[in-house]
């Protein structure tokens, strides 16, 4: 019999007791966030619970197929819940406009895999070794003995696949693949999920990618790759800020690049950065933390106040310093 963490047992007990449950996630939700939310929502609804499930921002278009019943909807103002579950959110701030809604709750369960999680819940199940929150929700359903139906399997597979870069990141563990295998066994439609998520980019998003390829810059012996997105770039291409998701991976994929950085000007003096590292010796979470952000070893981000060029100078300097400390070879000098 596999042993589950004690805290998981306490979360399951609270969920079994509850009549109404709210399931919330972070701002700008990604595949791991909405996949985990919808899977847990579906499983709890099947147990006869009254479920509300929502985020500050809408579900990204490419993930909308996971929510055919449009479960992701904000509740009526003033509603309270027996249990609130926060998924994939490293801090109360990351919940955005959802946070004030959930202060008046009985129990707040915080389930997440970010090392930077601030443990803001009453019950905190944080496992930074898990490559996705989806894998934690899978364990929760197994431990609770709640059935994994094909729609639940789809949502969890999408969550796990997106947060592991389709099982390519080195966070992927044997258990991740066993779990994915079981989800396919339980009816996850691998071809449909891959087609919807990875092979269906709108033309407008491709135009934004074209902009990135035309304007990216390389520095520090081509080991740092970065690009800017400004409001005019979104307007011109007919995209929104949410379409920038994943663009950075194209720059990360350039061979000499060790660290990729996206700068997005969200307000005249506020810049959102996204960081990706390809080196096990270079932790971009540590860089993001210097600027008040956080994330994981290989993927992190922050919002930084300042003029664009000054933010760029500070961030590129911090990356350069981290590269020098990591002792990356300068083979391309
Ligand atoms: Mn995640």
Tens-place pLDDT, residues 7-46 = 999 999 999 999 999 999 999 999 999 999 999 999 999 9
Query: From the CA of 29, how far away is ligand 1's center (Å)?
Result: 9
330 burial (CB, 10 Å; 0-12 / 13-18 / 19+) is exposed
Task: Give residue 158 CA to ligand 1 midpoint distance, Å.
Answer: 11
Nearest to 185 by CA among 145, 156, 143, 159: 156
Condensed to tens digits (0 to 9), the pLDDT of residues 41-69 reads: 999 999 999 999 999 999 998 999 999 99
**Ligand 1 centroid to 314 CA: how many Å?**
27
Does residue 270 have a pLDDT over 90?
yes
Please indicate, yes or no, whether residues 262 and 194 belong to a single structural domain of this protein: no
CA–CA distance, 314 with 329 (Å, rounded to integer):
23
Q: What's the gap in Å between 302 CA and the centre of ligand 1? A: 16
The pLDDT assigned to 254 comes to: 97
Same domain for 155 and 192, yes or no, is: yes
CA of 112 to the centre of ligand 1 (A): 7
CA of 155 to the centre of ligand 1 (A): 13
Distance 220 CA to ligand 1 centre (A): 30
Residues 189 and 230 in one domain: no
Looking at the structure, do residues 93 and 193 belong to the same domain, yes or no? yes
Among 138, 168, 198, the domain-final residue is 198
Distance 221 CA to ligand 1 centre (A): 31
Look at residue 333 and tell me if it is in a domain. Answer: no
Q: Tell whether 191 and 230 lie within a shared domain.
A: no
Last residue of a domain, one of 155, 177, 198: 198
Residue 332 CA, ligand 1 centroid: distance in Å: 34
Distance of CA 95 from the midpoint of ligand 1 (Å): 13
pLDDT computed for residue 79 by the predictor: 86
Confidence of residue 290 (pLDDT cuts 50, 70, 90): very high
Using the 3D structure, point to which of 198, 229, 255 is the last residue of a domain: 198
Output the CA 90–ligand 1 centroid distance in Å. Answer: 9
State the average pLDDT over residues 250-268: 97
Ligand 1 centroid vs 135 CA: distance in angstroms? 10
**Is 90 exceeded by the pLDDT of residue 226?**
yes
- Cα separations (Å) of 184 from 150, 181, 230, 251? 9, 5, 40, 31
> How many domains does one find in the chain?
2
CB 197 within 8 A of CB 63: yes
Q: Are strands 259-267 and 270-277 parallel, antiparallel or unpaired?
A: antiparallel
Same domain, 36 and 142: yes
pTM for the model: 0.89
Q: Which domain holds residue 33?
A: 6-198
17 and 148 both lie in a single domain: yes
Tens digits of residue pLDDT in 71-120 = 999 988 888 899 999 999 999 999 999 998 787 778 999 999 998 899 99
Both 179 and 261 in one domain: the answer is no
CATH code of residue 55? 3.90.1640.10
309 CA to middle of ligand 1, Å?
Answer: 30
Distance (Å) from CA 110 to ligand 1 centroid: 13
β-pairing verdict for 107-112 and 123-126: parallel
The answer to the question of residue 331 being in a domain is no
Nearest to 71 by CA among 99, 95, 50: 50
Distance 131 CA to ligand 1 centre (A): 7
Identify which of 163, 183, 176 has the alpha carbon closest to the alpha carbon of residue 39: 183
Asked whether residue 190 is assigned to any structural domain, the reply reads yes
What is the CA(17)–ligand 1 centre distance, in A?
Answer: 27
């Amino acid at each position: 019999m596999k042993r589950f963490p004690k805290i998981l047992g306490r979360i399951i007990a609270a969920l079994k007791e509850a009549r109404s449950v709210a399931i919330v996630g972070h701002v700008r939700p990604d595949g791991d966030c909405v996949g985990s939310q919808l899977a847990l929502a579906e499983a709890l609804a099947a147990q006869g619970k009254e479920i509300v499930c929502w985020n500050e921002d809408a579900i990204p278009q490419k993930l909308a197929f996971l929510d055919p019943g449009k479960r992701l909807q904000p509740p009526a103002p003033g509603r309270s819940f027996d249990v609130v579950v926060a998924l994939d959110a490293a801090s109360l701030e990351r919940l955005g406009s959802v946070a004030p809604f959930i202060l008046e709750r009985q129990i707040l369960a915080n389930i997440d895999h970010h090392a930077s999680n601030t443990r803001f819940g009453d019950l905190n199940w944080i496992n930074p070794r898990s490559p996705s929150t989806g894998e934690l929700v899978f364990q929760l359903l197994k431990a609770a003995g709640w059935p994994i139906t094909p729609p639940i399997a789809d949502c969890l597979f999408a969550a796990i696949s997106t947060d592991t870069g389709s099982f390519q990141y080195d966070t992927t563990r044997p258990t991740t693949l066993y779990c994915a295998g079981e989800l396919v066994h339980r009816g996850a439609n691998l071809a449909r999920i891959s087609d919807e998520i990875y092979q269906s980019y709108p033309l407008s998003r491709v135009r934004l990618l074209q902009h990135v390829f035309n304007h990216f810059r390389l520095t520090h012996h081509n080991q740092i790759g970065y690009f800017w997105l400004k409001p005019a770039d979104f307007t011109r291409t007919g995209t929104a800020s949410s379409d920038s998701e994943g663009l950075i991976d194209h720059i990360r994929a350039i061979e000499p690049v060790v660290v990729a950085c996206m700068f997005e000007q969200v307000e005249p003096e506020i810049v959102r950065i996204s960081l990706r590292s390809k080196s096990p010796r270079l932790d971009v979470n540590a860089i993001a933390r210097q600027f008040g952000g956080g994330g994981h070893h290989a993927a992190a981000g922050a919002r930084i106040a300042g003029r664009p060029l000054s933010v760029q100078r500070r961030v590129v300097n911090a990356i350069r310093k981290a590269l020098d400390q990591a002792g990356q070879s300068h083979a391309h000098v």
